[in-house]
Amino acid sequence: DAKTTQPTSMDCAEGRAANLPCNHSTISGNEYVYWYRQIHSQGPQYIIHGLKNNETNEMASLIITEDRKSSTLILPHATLRDTAVYYCIAETGANSKLTFGKGITLSVRP
Amino acid sequence: GAVVSQHPSWVICKSGTSVKIECRSLDFQATTMFWYRQFPKQSLMLMATSNEGSKATYEQGVEKDKFLINHASLTLSTLTVTSAHPEDSSFYICSARRRVKETQYFGPGTRLLVL
């Protein structure tokens, strides 16, 4: 699976959009980009995934660049409950392994 | 949505005893379940992958005789930590997926403290 790199941390104001970047410059054509988040002392929560096209669901939007070397997770209206570690993972879906890096710690401030 | 539960949510045991953790997929049948471990301030590390009805596949460095995994049905996998020691104290998390190429959904985790 391709390695992903994320900033260590970021913060945003409550009610504003949170844009979380992820680089995956070595991603292969059959690897999806998955986003999970982990709120303190809980199991990871699935957010969204995509292959080429931008995706949106009730939680977030995923914007993937045309060359697929990077992506951005957008939380349109961040709340305090969105404070968590967010993991960006590239995985084929056929592989058993979800390789978790350090993720990015998002702090939403009041 | 896909719901995965774990039981117990936390457990304290004495050194040398064995502890069993259950992972259940509540609203779907999981052909594959995964077991992860997370130490404080670290990321999740995959321990093993279990497919229903077959032996688990362990990651390098994970002792299969110490961490026994059983996936006897499409909704239940168990992890037994045998002869637990304080260094086994950790947060154990399972995940499950219906089939290949489908999303993994995680349980809430089990916190194990070995005294």
Question: Which tens digits make up the pLDDT trace of A36-85?
Answer: 999 988 999 999 999 999 999 999 999 999 999 999 999 999 999 999 99
**CB-nearest partner of A43 from B32, B100, B107:** B107
Lowest mean pLDDT among A7-16, B16-25, B69-78: B69-78
The whole-number pLDDT of residue B21 equals 98
Residue A44 is nearest to which of B6, B49, B106, comparing CB atoms? B106
What separation in angstroms does the CA of B29 have from each of A73, B71, B75? 29, 12, 5
- For residue A11, how many other CB atoms are within 10 A of its CB? 12
Tokens encoding B105: 């959904």
CA quadruple B72, B87, A97, B70: dihedral, nearest 10: -10
Position A66: which residue type? E
Closest chain B residue by Cα to residue A85:
B43
Which residue of chain A has the CA closest to B4? A43
Q: With pLDDT > 90 as the criterion, what percentage of chain A qualifies?
A: 83
Which of A108, A104, A106, A100 lies closest to A43 in space, CA to CA?
A: A100
CA distance B47 to B37: 7
Q: In b/e form, how buried is each residue of B103-113, taking b as 16+ CB within 10 angstroms?
A: bbbbbbbbbbe
Are the Cβ atoms of B106 and A101 closer than 8 angstroms? no
For the stretch B22-71, pLDDT in tens is 999 999 999 899 999 999 999 999 999 998 888 899 999 999 999 999 98
Between chains, do B111 and A94 touch, taking CB under 8 Å as contact? no
| Pairing label, strands A70-75, A84-91 | unpaired
Which of the 8 DSSP states describes residue A11?
E
Q: How many helices (H) and strands (E) does chain B have?
A: 0, 11
| Calpha distance B39→A101 (Å, rounded) | 14
Q: At B23, list the tokens.
A: 């992972």
Residues in chain B with CB shorter than 8 Å from the CB of A45 are: 106
Which of A98, A99, A102, A105 best tests the B interface by mutation, with the highest count of B CBs <10 A? A98
pLDDT class for A93, splitting at 50, 70, 90? Answer: low
Which pair of tokens denotes residue B22? Answer: 């259950």
Q: Mean pLDDT score of chain B, rounded to an integer?
A: 93
Cβ burial of A96 (10 Å; 0-12, 13-18, 19+) is middle
Can you tell me whether residue B46 is helix, strand or coil?
Answer: strand
